[in-house]
């Protein structure tokens, strides 16, 4: 935990005001998205579009944690339409806030964002599916196959919930679909083919998979399950410093631009808290795990007797 002196300066100890830095970045993101669709030639536009979509996803994460406005409704109005198309904002909000129950991190059933499975379920899986999930446990596989694997799993679980009568899940999708239609209409009216736009959406999710790939590990102690990646490069910016992930989990109301300084001021404490689960940079992550799994798919500490 941070020192008493530093914790007195944390922004969640004061009434929230408009975070102009975050709002300004949202405006830049929208401008880049518009530039890619309406001005740039397709060859240049694709890369700018991927950049904007990754940044938008990271800003969406900021919004669900209470930024940039004191009003949740005002903040959510910024991101309720998802130009990345695949995940409804309301569903992301609900599942991600459930994920923030740190005692359940990596739980195959109660952590909505985990990639671990119950070992008993793993043993019953067809060999082809086990091979696919094993490949998905390398960084290369996560970037190539991870978006479709995660999307199919996510939609399957939501469809089961809707069939079981979960009105909140259904509402999340019903609110999302008009935004999908509106985005596709804008793309159709632009010079970019819709199929090219969809490949950019897929690539954006692939980039985001770099961040989520090893955010959490199996560990007996909940505090040892969340990573620190000490990166300050382009990926760290695109992920809005969420690579300082244990800091974010301990202080989810702290805005993205304060996380690095908070970590630097209390580095030894955070690394002691997360049992030293640390990488020096995303380059380190690529070198160590691009073709090598970071851990097994079946939860290595899970007992079916729980």
Domain spans of the chain, in order of start:
17-289
Element (H, E) at 228: strand 228-229
Quickly state the pLDDT bin for 7 (edges 50, 70, 90): very low
State the pTM of this model: 0.91
User: Of 286, 305, 306, 302, which Cα lies nearest the Cα of 122?
Assistant: 302
Q: 306: which 2 tokens?
A: 């729980």
The 10s digit of each residue's pLDDT in 122-174 is: 999 999 999 999 999 999 999 999 999 999 999 999 999 999 999 999 999 99
CA distances from 275 to 13, 224, 306 (A): 27, 5, 24
pLDDT at residue 6 tops 80: no
């Amino acid at each position: 935990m941070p020192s008493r002196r530093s914790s007195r300066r944390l922004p969640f100890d004061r009434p929230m005001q408009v975070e102009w830095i975050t709002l300004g970045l949202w405006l830049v993101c929208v401008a880049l998205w518009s530039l890619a669709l309406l001005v740039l030639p397709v060859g240049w536009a694709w890369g700018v579009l991927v950049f904007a979509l990754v940044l938008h996803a990271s800003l969406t994460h900021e919004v669900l944690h209470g930024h940039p406005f004191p009003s949740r409704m005002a903040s959510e109005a910024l991101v309720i339409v998802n130009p990345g198309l695949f995940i409804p904002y309301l569903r992301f909000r609900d599942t991600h806030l459930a994920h923030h129950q740190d005692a359940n991190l990596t739980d195959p059933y109660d952590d909505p964002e985990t990639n671990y499975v119950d070992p008993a379920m793993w043993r019953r899986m067809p060999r082809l599916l086990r091979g696919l999930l094993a490949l998905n446990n390398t960084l290369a596989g996560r970037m190539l196959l991870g978006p479709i694997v995660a999307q199919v799993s996510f939609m399957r679980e939501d469809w089961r919930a809707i069939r079981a009568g979960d009105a909140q899940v259904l509402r999340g999708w019903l609110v999302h679909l008009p935004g999908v239609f509106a985005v596709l209409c804008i793309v159709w009216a632009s010079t970019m083919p819709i199929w090219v736009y969809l490949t950019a959406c897929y690539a954006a999710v692939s980039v985001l998979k770099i961040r989520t790939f090893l955010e959490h590990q199996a560990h007996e102690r909940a505090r040892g399950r969340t990573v620190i990646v000490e990166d300050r490069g382009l990926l760290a910016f695109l992920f809005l410093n969420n690579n300082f992930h244990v800091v974010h989990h301990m202080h989810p109301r702290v805005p993205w631009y304060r996380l690095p300084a908070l970590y630097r001021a209390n580095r030894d404490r955070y690394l002691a808290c997360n049992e030293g689960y640390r990488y020096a940079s995303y380059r380190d992550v690529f070198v160590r795990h691009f073709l090598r799994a970071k851990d097994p798919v079946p939860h290595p500490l899970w007992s079916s007797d729980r």
